[in-house]
């Protein structure tokens, strides 16, 4: 079916690789717009005006990332809303199950949840064509200005040390929920697995061993972030 699948131009991507690529972009684009509303809700909760402004800025960057991804779906001939639709349930479930009860929980979620998602997207970017990989990197790397969040969480724990334990549990729960919903996403669309494993085209994909290493890197990065917040990983 595929005509010259090694070419980086969309017109020559085989149909199965194209489908997987659009699916992947749909996942990340829907994740970004949910990230936007989630961080905007944190901005609403923030009393401190500098923190409110920083969070609103991060949300706006998430939206810019969403727009980049949506534009790229269009360039590849996909329909953005159709590309996002199959993944809404899993993302909505993640956000419904991890609704922050206050600003501190929201900040930990913005940092930990967004961090896991970004790491995962950057890892998968290795397995797509260069043009798409560049878009994913741009959309993801743009909102990693997280020092303000880290400082605000540390201040919150300093002000009330009893929060450290529950927030550490919260951070671990976020990781668990993200992994659960990640598996739901992967199982729903085998095109995504095929893309990463190299089954939809003739470039080499990830081996099972490499997938294991990827999961280990995600876990390691998560623990680095937890420690940076001053929380037991």
Residues engaged in binding a copy of itself (CB under 8 A)? 33, 36-37, 40-41, 43-44, 49-50, 52-53, 56-57, 59-60, 63-64, 66-67, 70, 80-81, 84-85, 88
Secondary element (H or E) of residue 129: none
CB of 42 to a copy of itself, least distance (A): 9
Query: What does residue 142 show for φ and ψ, rounded to 5 degrees?
Result: -60, -30
Q: Which is nearer to a copy of itself, 40 or 134 (CB)?
A: 40
CB of 57 to a copy of itself, least distance (A): 7
Task: Output 72-76 pairs: Cβ under 8 A, ≥24 positions apart.
Answer: 72/25, 72/132, 72/135, 73/22, 73/25, 73/26, 73/29, 75/10, 76/10, 76/13, 76/18, 76/21, 76/22, 76/25, 76/132
The residue count for the chain: 233
CB of 153 to a copy of itself, least distance (A): 20
Q: Which is nearer to a copy of itself, 92 or 202 (CB)?
A: 92
> What are the start-end ranges of the H helices in 46-99?
49-75, 80-84, 88-97
Query: Structure tokens of 102?
Result: 């206050």
Q: Which is nearer to a copy of itself, 63 or 111 (CB)?
A: 63
CB of 95 to a copy of itself, least distance (A): 9
With a CB cutoff of 8 Å and minimum separation 6, the contacts of 158 are none
CB of 102 to a copy of itself, least distance (A): 16
Q: Which is nearer to a copy of itself, 44 or 147 (CB)?
A: 44
């Amino acid at each position: 079916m595929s005509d010259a699948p090694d070419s980086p131009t969309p017109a020559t991507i085989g149909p199965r690789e194209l489908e997987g690529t659009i699916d992947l972009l749909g996942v990340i684009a829907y994740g970004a717009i949910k990230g936007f509303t989630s961080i905007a809700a944190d901005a609403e909760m923030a009393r401190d005006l500098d923190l409110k402004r920083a969070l609103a800025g991060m949300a706006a960057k998430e939206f810019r990332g969403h727009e980049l991804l949506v534009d790229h779906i269009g360039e590849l001939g996909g329909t953005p809303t159709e590309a996002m639709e199959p993944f809404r349930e899993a993302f909505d479930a993640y956000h419904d199950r991890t609704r922050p009860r206050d600003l501190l929980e929201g900040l930990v979620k913005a940092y930990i949840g967004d961090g896991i998602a970004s790491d995962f997207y950057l890892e998968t970017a290795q397995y797509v064509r260069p043009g798409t990989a560049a878009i994913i990197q741009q959309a993801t790397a743009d909102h990693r200005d997280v020092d303000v969040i880290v400082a605000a969480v540390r201040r919150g724990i300093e002000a009330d040390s009893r929060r450290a334990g529950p927030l550490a549990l919260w951070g671990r729960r976020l990781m668990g929920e993200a992994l659960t919903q990640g598996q739901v996403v992967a199982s729903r669309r085998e095109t995504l697995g095929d893309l990463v494993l190299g089954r939809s085209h003739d470039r080499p994909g990830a081996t099972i061993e490499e997938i294991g290493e990827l999961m280990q890197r995600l876990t390691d990065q998560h623990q680095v972030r937890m420690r940076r917040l001053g929380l037991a990983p």
